[in-house]
Structure 1
């Protein structure tokens, strides 16, 4: 039996969208961008932040799986212009780099 997603999870999932670095730059300039490691569920992290699950979020922060975007990472995004998944949990914009689609042969 599969577990049903919470109402908050479903709401955040519906608010998740792709964006480019150019669209993200103003939020980076305000210091409000958090990067989420590819090993984590972006929407699950957003849900944990929204629900103020300090212990869980603290583990991710300590491991570096969740971190405030730094200048070096911003410069890398500027250079590569990757596609990003993003969701807002005010005052934060959580981003995760989209994995490249497999090549079709």
Structure 2
């Protein structure tokens, strides 16, 4: 069954609405179950979620091979815990995709 482009737009809107900032401590039980996936800041979290929900193996494999998408490592988990980090998160069952907040350019007045 082919997905129509308007369905993709609806899915992007749905995923975007379901994206939230969460403290890492709230995601620890999911990390322990092996269900938390890190997404590099160079990628768009919503786009990655949409690609995963479409089971787009080509792009996902490319990102994983490039080290841009990966299961959260013990080192990442520990550093986020120590920093009391908040992460952007979105659920694409059974996974929770997380991304660190992107640095914003500061303007000096």
TM-score (norm: length of structure 1): 0.89
Q: Which runs of 5+ in 2 are unaligned?
A: 1-5
Counterpart of 2:32 in structure 1 is: 29
- Structure 1 segments, 4+ long, off by >6 Å, are none
- RMSD (Å), alpha carbons: 1.7
Q: Does structure 2 conserve the Cα–Cα contact (< 8 Å) formed by 1:28 and 1:69?
A: yes
SS at match of 1:39: coil
Tell me, yes or no, if structure 1 residue 7 matches structure 2 residue 24. Answer: no
Alignment length (residue pairs): 102
- TM normalised by structure 2 equals 0.86
Is the Cα–Cα contact under 8 Å of residues 82 and 98 in structure 1 kept in the other structure? no
Structure 2 distance, partners of 1:48, 1:66, is: 12
2:56 aligned partner:
53
Deviations 1:39-96 (A, max 9, x none): 0000000000000100000000100100000111111111112221000000000000
| Structure-1 residue corresponding to 2:43 | 40
Name which of 69, 82, 85 aligns with 2:85: 82
In structure 2, C-alpha distance between the alignment counterparts of 1:104 and 1:27, rounded to whole Å: 40
Structure 1 unaligned regions, length at least 5: none
The SS at the match of 2:70 is strand
Task: Select the residue among 77, 81, 100 that pairs with 1:97.
Answer: 100
State how far apart, in whole Å, the 2-side matches of 1:39 and 1:50 are: 20
Distance 2:108 2:10 in 1: 36
